[in-house]
Each structure stands twice: as structure tokens, then as C-alpha cells.
A = this chain, B = another copy of it.
């Protein structure tokens, strides 16, 4: 329409890297308001926002500029503005401080981790519940990868005449198991011999490092069992085991969208563990803690944002906590919650490892 009016701009150059103070304040107010109400925000509602002490007419001018620059959008001509993905991006990059969790949430977190105990899996599962409760988002927790953890103990337990269970304990407390089909009947004693022989060979190694060949023990039957056991270890070490993912609060996705079709497609993604784990890893790898809209490549999640925090155990990233919500999620809250829970989870796991 009035494309010729652009003359007042110094050219169609790429968007300025920063916004002046008032425009920032306006963008901030629009995002904050929209996160709360999910309704387009009009200029009238912003007159008394902090840092914005101008009339609605001036705000309108700034909003129009922000729209031209891609930070805001208008559902239709006579509606208020809503943030674009770029607007959210500016918001999280420049307008959200480190921020702390609200006192109630902090109390919840403290209480949770003070009473954390038991199996690691159930703890991770409950952590996902905690995170989703704190944020009204869907929470994702990826457990420590056992790839680099060394074998602490190997045991063979007979379950049936030709069936045994290989039980491997890793240094981080993880227990892996694998059922083994034995070619012939093996008594308990010989299983013990084979287990000792295996243990001598693999304890102290990480699963992927294990050499599949192993000298004979003298007894041919024992050797057969050892070979089967090694095969089982190899299987455990292969990627097939994969990282374990815990998803909590997926019902919050149904509250976040009013189109049931959107809910369905998001839930479908959440059911694909591999996709979710890859998504979280990708975002972390790119050095981000937030991926908004199409920034992550998963198309069905285009109307979602992901918040990711690594979990450090003994100076090493060993897991991930994540949050999934609509792009209009409460970023300050989500970031604070993910950071706090990620840190405390790391502490907790470190202590357990000592």
C-alpha cells in the first residue's frame, strides 16, 4: 500500500541490534501482558506500564515501528498487538534478568530435594512432576547418560534352566540388565565362575570400551557362558539402550492451546522419546537455553517454546531438564524454575555419587 512512505527510514537495512529504552519498555509490557492474558494488547493498556510515561498515541507510533521491525504482529487491522517469535527472542535475551523463583516455588523445591531419596529413576520422574507443577508447563527430564560410567559389578543370576539374567551395576548407581539365552543347562556354580571371569575383565571399564574378545578360562562350558555374557554387555553398551526420558505434566499442553488439533500434534511429538531427547540436545548444543517457535526444527512444535538447562554433576553435563509450553509461556518463571531445579538436581546427583 504505502510502501513509498518508507523514505523516513534511513533505508531498508537489517533491523537494529538494539531498541531504544522506550521501545524496549513497550515490547516488555506487551510480552508480559500477553503472557498473562493471551489477548492482543492495545496501546491504551500500556500507558501506565513501567518505563512508558507517554500517551497512547505515542505508544501507537512505537508499536507500529516495532511491527515494521518484526517484533510485534497484529492478528487483524483493528486489534492490539501480539509478540512475534522475534519479539519473544528479544524479550528473553535482553529483558529477562537472571531472576529468582517466587518464594512459594523456592519452598517447594527446597522441600522436594530435602526429601529426595530412593531410586534415581523415580527421583527423575518426580522431578519432572515438580518442574511441571512449578511452571504449568510440560516438563522433560533426561537422565544421566551412562555411556561414560564405568562398570562396578557384573553378576549372572540363573532364572531358568537355560535362562540367565546379566546384571551390571555402574559406578553412578545405574543398574542395567539383560536376559541371556544359554545354549545349554548351566548350574549356578558355573554361572558364578563365568561372572567372576567377566568381572575381572570389565570392571573399571565403560560399557562401550569393553573388548569383546577375552582369553579362555580353561573350562569350555564356562567360556560359552562368558561369550554369551560379553554379547549381552555389548548389547547394553550399544546406543540401543538410549537415554531415559521422563515427561511430566503433559496435561498442561491441553490447557495451553484451545485448538485440540494443536494439542494432539504436540502430544504426538512428546510420545517420541528420540525426537524429544534429540531436540533438547540440539538446543543445548547450540548454546541456547530457550528455543522459540521455529528456532528448533520440529515443525509440529512451531507454536511452542522450549526451555533447556543442563544438569552438571561433578563438573560434567550429565543430563538435561527442559520445559515445553506455548510460545507465550511465562519465560521468567520458566527460566528461573528450570535453572533452580537443574542445579539442585545436579547437586543431589553429585552427592549421591560423592
Residues of A within 8 A of B (CB): 117-119, 129, 152-153, 155, 157-163, 165, 167, 169, 171, 173, 175, 177-179, 248-251, 253-255, 257-261, 263-265, 267-268, 270-271, 352-354
Contact = CB atoms under 8 A, between A and B. Distances in A.
Contacts of A171: 159
Given A153-B155, A251-B268, A353-B160, A175 B175 contact: yes
A260 B259 CA distance: 7
Given A153-B155, A251-B264, A167 B163 contact: no
Contact of A157 (B119, B153, B159): B153
Contacts of A255: 260, 264
Contacts of A254: 254, 260-261, 263-264, 267
A169 B173 contact: no
A118 B260 contact: no
Given A160-B354, A251-B271, A254-B267, A175 B165 contact: yes
A178 B117 CA distance: 9
A119 B178 contact: yes
Contacts of A253: 267
B165 A157 contact: no
B248 A179 contact: no
Contacts of A271: 129, 248-251
B163 A352 contact: yes
Count chain B CB atoms within 10 A of each CB in A171, A177, A270 and give the residue with the most. Answer: A177
Nearest to A235: B118
Given A175-B177, A179-B352, A254-B267, A165 B169 contact: yes
A201 to B, nearest CB: 17
7 contacts: A117-B179, A129-B271, A152-B157, A160-B354, A165-B175, A175-B177, A250-B271
- The residue in A155, A169, A270 that gathers the most chain B C-beta atoms within 10 A of its C-beta is A169
A118 B238 CA distance: 13
Contacts of A162: 354
A76 to B, nearest CB: 23
A159 B152 contact: yes
Contact of A260 (B157, B249, B250, B257): B257
A177 B152 CA distance: 14
Contacts of A250: 250, 267, 271
Contacts of A248: 271
Given A155-B155, A254-B264, A260-B254, A354 B175 contact: no
